[in-house]
Amino acid sequence: MSFVEYSDLIQDGDVAIVYLGPESMMPVKVKQGAQTQTRYGVIRHSSDLIGRRYGSKVTCSKGGWVYVLHMTPELWTVNLPHRTQILYTTDIATITMMLELKPGAVVCESGTGSGSLSHAILRSIAPSGHLHTVEFHQQRAEKAEEEFKEHRVDRLVTVRNQDVCKDGFGVTGVADAVFLDIPSPWEAVRHAKAAMKRQGGRVCSFSPCIEQVQKTCEALVDQGFEELSTLEVLLRVHDVRTVYLPLPDFGPDETAPQTSVALKTTTLPREMPGHTGYLTFATKPRT
């Protein structure tokens, strides 16, 4: 297993996803001799997991069953331990395309946070790219470094514990793309510019508040960035269900056989997530 490469069989040391049911999953560190408790019973790693194929159905001690899934950054995003508020797949997907991430890209990111976006970036730039990620909180920086090692992607990433607004990303002239998710991104714009390649590149800033966006756009224009574009992306999840619509009774009628009609349709949740943050993209021209 690797976050950036598929494998077929579950191995000791893998981080896998145990699927219990819809909206019910948990990450599991696979280890010889270890056990995992679930509501369907115990899973014994040595006999139930190691050597089995990913995607297999695993029967637990109480007789219930689960599926074991290969890790992906998307599964990690919805199962990772939160140390900060994280970015979800909808925003991550937009960022990945708009920053033109692809194998070989060099990316600078701050703040690392809980590593949700970091893992997605690593997946997209592997095997030949590199991620320079900056986190000003020491424990979070250390935890991130630990996780990258555990997830076998540490060769692709460098974590720096510093303040990007004061000290920048720790590299200059190498990045194809820069991503900012910090409280005062306008203070880091000049560092973003310095970290980027002379030939140019793409930058993205994520901010929940419009005032932050305004200040960041001003800073981007001042620093000579072009093609500014601010947008937001919202996800709508459609629940597929069968609904029964009763038919009216207008009195005796031979041609009306049924009392109700079954309809396969979708409904939207009562409360839809309405805002995560604004995404501002820009292009650094050649300097």
Partner 1 sequence: MADNVDEDSPDRIKAGDYVVLKRGDIFKAVQIQPKKKAMFEKQWFLPDTAVGQLYGSTFDVAPGGILQPRKPKDTEDANEAGTDNRHILDDGKSQKLTRDDIEILKGQGLKDQEIIQQLVDNSSTFRDKTKYAQDKYIKKKKKKYENTVTILRPSCRILAMMYHGREPGKICHMRYDMLAQMLTLANIHAGSKVLVFETCAGLVLGSVMERMGGYGSVIQMFPGGGPVRAGVESFGFPAHFHDTLHEFPICHVNALLAGTLDTACKDPPAGRGQCPYFMFFFYFQAQERKVKLEEKRKKLASAAALLEGRNADGLVIASRFHPCPVLLGLIQFLSPSRPFVVYSQYKEPLIECFTKLKERGGTVNLRLTDTWLRRYQVLPNRTHPLLLMSGAGGFILSGTTVAVDDSKPANSQRAEEPAAKRQKVDGR
12 - beta bridge partners? none
Q: Is 29 in the site for partner 1 (CB under 8 A)?
A: no
CA-to-CA distance for 257 and 190, rounded, in angstroms?
A: 73
CA-to-CA distance for 139 and 218, rounded, in angstroms?
A: 33
- Establish whether 135 is an annotated binding residue: yes
In 3-state terms, what secondary structure has residue 70? coil
Q: Is 213 in the site for partner 1 (CB under 8 A)?
A: yes
Site residues (CB under 8 A) for partner 1, limited to 224-243 = 228-241
Stretch that binds partner 1, among 47-55, 133-141, 148-156, 171-179 (CB under 8 A): 47-55
CA-to-CA distance for 18 and 165, rounded, in angstroms?
A: 40
- Find the angle CA(8)-CA(157)-CA(166) to the nearest 5 degrees: 155
Figure out which of the listed residues 39, 53, 62, 155 binds partner 1, where binding follows CB under 8 A.
Answer: 53
What is the smallest separation between the CB atom of 185 and partner 1, expressed in angstroms? Answer: 13
Q: How many CB atoms lie within 10 A of CB 56?
A: 15
- Establish whether 181 is an annotated binding residue: yes
Question: Using CB under 8 A as the criterion, what x/- string covers residues 83-112 for binding partner 1?
Answer: --x--xxxxxxx-xxx-x-xxx--------
Q: Is 183 in the site for partner 1 (CB under 8 A)?
A: no
What is the smallest separation between the CB atom of 246 and partner 1, expressed in angstroms? Answer: 19
Figure out which of the listed residues 29, 39, 57, 149 binds partner 1, where binding follows CB under 8 A.
Answer: 57
Stretch that binds partner 1, among 71-79, 141-149, 160-168, 184-192 (CB under 8 A): 71-79
Closer Cβ to partner 1, 165 or 219, answer by number: 219
Question: Using CB under 8 A as the criterion, what x/- string covers residues 248-267 for binding partner 1?
Answer: ----------------xxxx
Which CB contacts under 8 angstroms, 24+ apart, belong to 23-32?
A: 25/69, 25/75, 25/78, 25/79, 26/79, 27/71, 27/76, 27/79, 27/80, 28/68, 29/150
Q: Is 148 in the site for partner 1 (CB under 8 A)?
A: no
- Establish whether 163 is an annotated binding residue: yes
CA-to-CA distance for 5 and 151, rounded, in angstroms?
A: 11
What is the smallest separation between the CB atom of 67 and partner 1, expressed in angstroms? Answer: 5
Site residues (CB under 8 A) for partner 1, limited to 2-21 = 4-6, 8, 19, 21
Q: Is 209 in the site for partner 1 (CB under 8 A)?
A: no
Figure out which of the listed residues 63, 138, 255, 275 binds partner 1, where binding follows CB under 8 A.
Answer: 275
Q: Is 81 in the site for partner 1 (CB under 8 A)?
A: no
Q: Is 171 in the site for partner 1 (CB under 8 A)?
A: no
User: Do residues 110 and 140 lie in contact, with contact meaning Cβ atoms separated by under 8 Å?
Assistant: no
Phi and psi for 3 in degrees, rounded to 5?
Answer: -70, -15
Nearest to 69 by CA among 112, 118, 15: 15
By CB neighbour count within 10 A (0-12 exposed, 13-18 middle, 19+ buried), where does 201 fall?
Answer: buried
The tokens 């002239």 sit on which residue? Answer: 173
Q: Is 223 in the site for partner 1 (CB under 8 A)?
A: no
Binding-site residues for S-adenosyl-L-methionine sit at 114-117, 135, 163, 181
